[in-house]
Amino acid sequence: MLRGGRTKYDFDLIENGCNLGIAAGLNIGIREVKAKECLWAALFDQDSRVEPGFIEFALKAFNDGSNPPQVGIVCPVYLDSQTGMVLPFLRSPKDGILAAMTSGSLIPVNLFEKVGTFNEALFIDYVDIEFCLRCRRAGYHIIQSQRAILHHSQGHIIQHRLLGCCFASTNHSAARRYYITRNRLWVLGRFLGDWAWSRKEARALVTETIKLLLVEGDRLKKLKSIVLGMLDAAGGRLGYRCEL
């Protein structure tokens, strides 16, 4: 499909031949837009879908901001593709948006010269979070366009009701649970001083594990993956470790 669409839609297709991980794939694209002297990089996952005017609305949010030179990332409103619900951001009253997903991010290309590109050792999961934390540590802000809409799948979200409480579980596979756990803990270890983010992230680690134990399938397999992820995070063993 992609090979056939190159001529009709006028885009460049770079084929890697194997799964290098999301960070390596993003960095290959970033090198390409830098070589073409583009001013902006717009990043998307393969299963994301935008609504009309997406780029224009994101650029307007950047230009209308109070301090555009200090904006590192413009992110959209995320709607879950399955449920239509608005996906939440990690944010705090004092620091604003703490981290955003890769998909839908609009980033000035010159930012990569100042904070570096994506960390390929993480392979998948928390690649975007680690980059956002680096940006904020360097003094840049993450802002949101309220008019740029992106439809995105975040795991296989299922709504539950238990003991009068409503909550959602993402139902990631055991392999994804490994990468999520390993990379989350590794990033936590390096950005523990970012108290606004690390406090929320530590709480999310606990609540996600509880929800997994209560309502998700393959619990034993996922728990083993979580333990392996914890051990590898402690030992600094990153990169590709298990098949997705």
pLDDT in tens, the chain (244 residues): 899 999 899 999 999 999 999 999 999 999 999 999 999 999 999 889 999 999 999 999 999 988 999 999 999 999 988 777 888 888 888 889 999 999 999 999 999 999 999 999 999 999 999 999 999 999 999 999 999 999 987 766 777 677 677 767 788 899 999 999 999 999 999 999 999 999 999 999 999 998 888 888 899 999 999 999 999 999 999 999 988 8
Q: State residue 68's pLDDT score.
A: 95
CA–CA distance, 27 with 223 (Å, rounded to integer): 32
Q: Which of 70, 87, 89 is nearest to 129 (CA)?
A: 89
Q: Are 157 and 83 in contact (CB under 8 A)?
A: yes
Placement of tokens 């413009």 in the chain? 74
CA–CA distance, 134 with 114 (Å, rounded to integer): 10
On the CB side of 244, CA atoms within 13 Å amount to 15
Domain with CATH 3.90.550.60 in the chain: 2-152
Return the axis-axis angle of helices 127-137 and 174-190, rounded to nearest 10°. 20
CA dihedral 66, 67, 70, 72 (to 10 degrees): 50
User: In the structure encoding, which two tokens stand for residue 162, read together?
Assistant: 């238990």
Tell me the CATH class for 2-152. Answer: alpha beta
Q: Three-state DSSP class for 123?
A: coil
CA–CA distance, 109 with 100 (Å, rounded to integer): 17
- The structure's pTM equals 0.92
CA–CA distance, 206 with 23 (Å, rounded to integer): 26
CA–CA distance, 17 with 19 (Å, rounded to integer): 7
Q: State residue 155's pLDDT score.
A: 65
CB neighbours of residue 206 within 10 Å = 9
Q: What are phi and psi of 191, to 5 degrees?
A: -125, 30
Placement of tokens 């990468």 in the chain? 179
Q: State residue 185's pLDDT score.
A: 97
